[in-house]
Every structure is written in C-alpha cells, then in structure tokens.
A and B are shown apart, each in its own frame.
Chain A
Amino acid sequence: DAKTTQPNSMESNEEEPVHLPCNHSTISGTDYIHWYRQLPSQGPEYVIHGLTSNVNNRMASLAIAEDRKSSTLILHRATLRDAAVYYCILRDGDAGNMLTFGGGTRLMVKP
C-alpha cells in the first residue's frame, strides 16, 4: 500500500466541524482512500472510503482533491465520543487485500 502522511494530533472544540487532512502524493490510479478510527481500548472502526468523488455517509464526509494527492475527512459536528486516532489508508483495489496502518492523527475534542 502506498504511504500516507497525517498530522500526529489535532484538537477540536465540541460541536464544531473538524477537518482531518491526509497527504498521499504517490497514490496510484487503483488506490482507494480509506479512513478508520480507533477509540480508546477498542478495535478500529470503518469510517468511510472513496476513489475519486467526494463521499458522504452518516458518520463523516470525505473530500478528495482533484489530483487525488490529498484528502480530508470531515466530521461535521465533533462530539466527545469522536475523540480517537484516525487512520488514512490507501488500499489497492487490484492487489492483495490487507490494510496497512500508519501512525494516524490523534483527535482530541474539548468540551
């Protein structure tokens, strides 16, 4: 899987939007952009994924740059329960199926 770069940590205020960036300048044409999060003492949780177009689901939105070299996970209204480590992962749709986790971004939400 191609490499991604994320900030180590970010802070947000409760009930405000949060934009979590991810750079993936070496992304290939068949790489999907996946986001997972891991709450304290829990297993990772799937958040969203996309290929080229922006995606929305009940948890978040994924904005993908036109050149696909970066993407942003958007939490529209952060809650204290959104405090977690967020992982941006590239996964080749044509190759083997495992996910390779990097360091992620630790999101802290202040009340």
Chain B
Amino acid sequence: NAGVMQNPRHLVRRRGQEARLRCSPVKGHSHVYWYRQLPEEGLKFMVYLQKENIIDESGMPKERFSAEFPKEGPSILRIQQVVRGDSAAYFCASSPPGKVGQSYGYTFGSGTRLTVV
C-alpha cells in the first residue's frame, strides 16, 4: 500500500515565481489536508479538502495561496508570487471518509520543502 505521495521533495523558487505542490492521497482516502511548518516552528493547518470541494480553508493566507483536489488526479497547493517568508515545509495528509462519532488516524506525506531565493 502506497502512503501519501508528495512531490517534489524539494523545490527552489525565485521571488515572484509560482510554486505548485502536489499530493496524492492514500488509495481510497477522499479527505486531504495541507499543513505548513516554518523553520523551527510547529505545524499549522492550512486547508481541508474533499474531492472537488474545499471544506475548511481557515488557515490559508487570503492572498496568493490556493488549493484544489480535483475529481481525478492529485491535490495541488499553489502559491503565486512567492516571497521569502513562504519558505517552509508543506505537508499533506489524507484520511478515509468516516462516520460522525468515529475517529481515525491521518497518514502524512514526507513533505515538500520550499525554498524561496
């Protein structure tokens, strides 16, 4: 069973360029979450998606950041016009659909380390 696959593992972008981070969830998982971890800091929730829907984007910066999880293909986190402060590790996690009242573990990917120069 393949886990959550994130690519690329490392991404270097110049200021002002666009960054696209991809996440393929565990097969059968329909829920995807994106987290950001700044250097020497904790994990911060960004966005929660189900197939073709954004469920919760309360942690996403209002500008330059967007996320999608299309019916076919991986989830994409897109950062436009990157700045040095966007340099961080971005982690994706997936979970299966569940019933209210249940709880289940998330599977995280190995992350994409974005460096803005």
Contacts and interface: CB of A to CB of B under 8 A. Distances in A.
A43 B111 contact: yes
A96 B48 contact: yes
- Interface residue tally on A, bucketed by range: 20 to 34
Q: What band does the interface of chain B fall in when counting residues whose beta carbon is under 8 Å from A?
A: 20 to 34
Nearest to B91: A43
Interface in B15-48: 31, 33, 35, 42-45, 48
Interface of B: 4, 31, 33, 35, 42-45, 48, 55-56, 91, 93, 95, 98, 100-111
Nearest to B46: A98
A30 interface: yes
B42 A103 contact: yes
Nearest to A85: B42
Given A43-B111, A93-B101, A94-B100, A99 B106 contact: yes
Contacts of B108: 43-46
A94 B109 contact: no
A72 B104 CA distance: 19
Contacts of A98: 33, 45, 48, 56
Contacts of B106: 36, 44, 46, 99
Nearest to B4: A43
A49 B91 contact: no
A101 B43 contact: yes
A97 B43 contact: no
Contact of B91 (A30, A34, A44, A94): A44
